[in-house]
Structures are given as structure tokens and as C-alpha cells.
Amino acid sequence: MKEFQLQGINHLALVCQDMTRTIDFYCNTLGLQLIKTIQLPDGGQHFFFDIGNGDALAFFWFPQAPERAPGIASVNPAAMQTGDIRTAHGSMNHVAFKVSAEKLNEYREQLAAKGVQTTPVLHHADVPSGYVPEADETTFLSSFYFFDPDGILLEFAATVRELGDPERDLNFSL
């Protein structure tokens, strides 16, 4: 028996600059439901969106929060176009939402129709470059990336094959 019986992620908490803009994007662009808001003692807010399976994506809005630092604590949008998604140690790199492979292209088109810029669909694969142009037997995930209004990198990701095979999926050295 495992020491901790984890059941998934309850919520991931991020920080936004503008609560109204964030709610508009996640409700009206991504179609999520706002399920909880909490007034903070300093005048800020903590609020939660339902992302399915009993999981939530949460945000804090702090009236006196420091400005964001793209390329340090979040992905630099300009560098993202060249595939550079590096961020600083201890930062959050991106949030990946699980979607079905059959809906991936449709969802990308829907976001484009709403004015959201996305990457092409990428097929993450067990090859030296990390990607293949079309999904094949080496592909484990197909996805595309886009930013929310605060520059948080989001991903719609479709599992192509389950992970966990030690010979195929665990390739690292310490």
C-alpha cells in the first residue's frame, strides 16, 4: 500500500492581474463554470473554475501583487514561437487540460475563431527532437498551446498512449 493515497489534483492555484478579465476568458472563451469565490482579508479574491472530474483551476487576485516576469517566472510569449518554454526554477511552466484526441483540431479552430492564438498541433514523441510531424507509433501525446490574458501558458493535451512502461517511458540518468 502506498504511503499517501493521492486521488489526483484537487486544484491548481494561479495568480491573475484582472479578476474580471480572467473570469471572462475562462468562462466565455474556454466555457468553464465559475464554482466558488472567496473574499480575502486584504481585499483580494480567490476563485475556482470546474475543470471536470471534481478538479478545479483556482486563481488569486491580489490588489498589490508584483508584476509578472515573462521569461523568468512564466513562459516568454516571443520565445514560445521558437519552442523555448524554459522558465525559472520553482516556477509553474504551464497548465495542461486533458481533452480527447478526436476533439483536438476542433478545439484549436474554436479558440482561433475567438481570437486566441495557438501553436500548431504538436505530436510529442519518443524521438531525439521530441516531436514528429504526424502522430505515429512513437507518439504519446498530441497537443497545442496558447496563453490566457495574464500570459499563463495553457495546453489542450490528448493522450495517444498511456505512459508508465519502464523500458519505453523512463529514460533518464541522475
Say which CATH number the domain at 7 has. Answer: 3.10.180.10
**Interatomic CA distance for residues 154 and 129, integer angstroms:** 22
Please indicate, yes or no, whether residues 59 and 106 belong to a single structural domain of this protein.
no
Cβ-in-10-Å burial (0-12, 13-18, 19+) of 144 comes to buried
Are residues 28 and 106 both part of a single domain?
no
**Residue 109: what pLDDT?**
96
Q: pLDDT of the chain along its 174 residues, tens only?
A: 777 676 778 789 999 999 999 999 999 999 999 999 988 888 889 999 999 988 999 999 988 888 888 877 877 787 776 767 777 777 788 999 999 999 999 999 999 999 999 999 999 888 887 888 899 998 989 999 999 999 899 999 998 888 777 777 766 655
Q: Tell me, yes or no, whether 37 and 81 share the same domain.
A: no
Read off the pTM: 0.83
**148 and 96 housed in the same domain:** yes
Question: Both 40 and 111 in a single domain?
Answer: no
Q: Domain check: are 144 and 127 in the same one?
A: yes
Contact call for residues 83 and 91 (beta carbons, < 8 A): no
Residues 88 and 149 in one domain: yes
Q: Give the span between the Cα atoms of 99 and 123, in whole angstroms.
A: 14
Q: Give the sign of the dihedral formed by CA 111, CA 130, CA 132, CA 84.
A: positive
pLDDT of residue 76: 79
The number of beta carbons lying within 10 Å of the beta carbon of residue 59 is 23
Beta bridge partner(s), residue 59: 14, 47
Tell me the C-alpha distance between 151 and 153, whole Å.
6
Assess whether 15 and 59 both reside in one domain: yes
- Examine the domain organization and report whether 83 and 166 are in the same domain: yes
C-alpha cell at 44: 483580494
53/77 same-domain check: no
Domain boundary among 45, 66, 87: 66
The burial of 92, by beta-carbon neighbours within 10 Å (0-12 exposed, 13-18 middle, 19 or more buried), is given as middle
Its domain, for residue 146, covers 68-174
Q: Indicate which CATH number applies to the domain containing 170.
A: 3.30.720.110
Q: pLDDT value at position 172?
A: 61
Burial track 3-12 (b if 16+ CB lie within 10 A, e otherwise): eeeeeeeeee
Residues 86 and 168 in one domain: yes
Structural domain tally of the chain?
2
Amino acid in position 20: T
Same domain, 101 and 20: no
